[in-house]
Amino acid sequence: MDEIRHTNIQRQSADEYLRRKYDIPATLPKTPLKDEPFATNWREADGKETLDFLADVLRLPAFDFQWENRDALKISFAQTLGGRLPVIATESHRDFRQMEALMSAREDAPELPLTVNAFTIEARAASIFRHRVLLLNYAPYSNIPAEKLGLPEREWLERSHRLRMRHESAHYETLRLFGGMQNHALDEILADALGQIAAFGDFDADRQRIFFGLTKGGDTCTGRLSFYTQKVRPGECAKIYRAVDKALDLVADELRKLQKAKAEDEKLLTALAGTSIAERLVTTEDRSGAKRP
C-alpha cells in the first residue's frame, strides 16, 4: 500500500514487529470469493466515459477539478481471490490525487509524494460509501527509473502497472481471506512478491531490494521500506532492515520451489502470509546451526 497515514503512533519493538503474521484458517473458502455487493454498482461502467459514469451513475459530487488527461481515465475490474474489484487508472499524478479526493468527497486534492501511485481505498463519498476501489496511476513502480532495471521506459511502465495491480489485489485478498491488511514489511513483501510474479514471472530478491531501498547486507534504508517501520521504536529499525534483507533471499527460494511445483496463487498467498519474518530466519538458522543475528 502506497499511502501511509499514522496518528497517535504506539511504538513497538523490532522483535514484536518481526513476529507479525496472519492466522491462516485450517480450511479456506473456495476462491475466488463471491464479489462484495458494491461491485454490482460498477457494472455499467463498461463503455461509458469515466467521469460521466462517476457523476451520472454513481452520483459522485461534481467538483471543479481541472483534469490533465481526462481521456486516459479508465475503469476496469481486477479479478482477485477475494472477488472482483473496480479499478480506476490515471496517467497523471495530479489526476490520481484528484480522483482520490473525488472518491473521498473532498474538494481539495491531497498532497502526495510522486512515489505514491496506488491506493486500495474505501470510498467515503456518501453515494458510494464503503465501496472499495483500486486507484492506480501509470508511473514507474517505487519511483525506480527504467534504466536501473535495464528496461525500456515504456516496457517498465507496463510492468509497473501489472505489478501495482497485483500488489493492491494481494492486500484486498488478505483482508477478505485472513481478516486484515497493514502497512507492514510482511504485507509489502507478500504483495510485491505476487506483483513481481505478475510483472516478471518470478520473484527476485535483488529487484525487491531496489524497490525497498535496501542494500544487500546493509542496515540502512533509502526507500519506501522505511515508511512501513514508522511504528517501531527509535533506534530499532536497523534490525528490521537486516532481517528483511536476509528474508528476501529466503522468500525467493521458497517461491522458486512453489512455482516449480506449479502452486496456484492461493498457495503462494497463504505461504507468504502465514510465516513471519522472524520465523523464516529462525528456521534457517536452526537448520544451519548458526547463531541468531
The full set of domain ranges for the chain reads 14-20+28-277
Give the per-residue SS3 of the chain: CCCCCCCCCCCECHHHHHCCCCCCCCCCCCCCCCCCHHHHHHHHHCCCCHHHHHHHHCCCCCCCCCCCCHHHCEEEEEEECCEEEEEEEECCHHHHHHHHHHHCCCCCCCCCCCCCCEEEEECCCHHHCCCEEEEEECCCHHHCCHHHHCCCHHHHHHHHHHHHHHHHHHHHHHHHHHCCCCCCHHHHHHHHHHHHHHHHCCCCHHHHHHHHCECCCCCCECCHHHHHHCCECCCCHHHHHHHHHHHHHHHHHHHHHHHHCCCCHHHHHHHHHCCCHHHHHHHHHHHHCCCCC
In this model, does residue 6 exceed pLDDT 90? no
Query: Stretch 192-199: mean pLDDT, rounded?
Result: 98
Q: What is the pLDDT of residue 204?
A: 98
- Lowest-confidence range among 60-64, 75-79, 213-217? 60-64
User: Rounded to the nearest 5°, which phi and psi values hold at 87?
Assistant: -125, 130
Cα-based torsion angle of the residue sequence 13, 19, 21, 27 in order, rounded to the nearest 10 degrees: -140
pLDDT band at 237 (very low <50, low <70, confident <90, very high): very high
Mean pLDDT for the chain overall: 92
Q: What is the pLDDT of residue 113?
A: 82
What does the alpha-carbon distance between residue 260 and residue 111 come to, in Å, rounded to a whole number?
43
**Full-prediction pTM beyond 0.85?**
yes
Q: What is the pLDDT of residue 293?
A: 46
Q: What is the pLDDT of residue 9?
A: 59
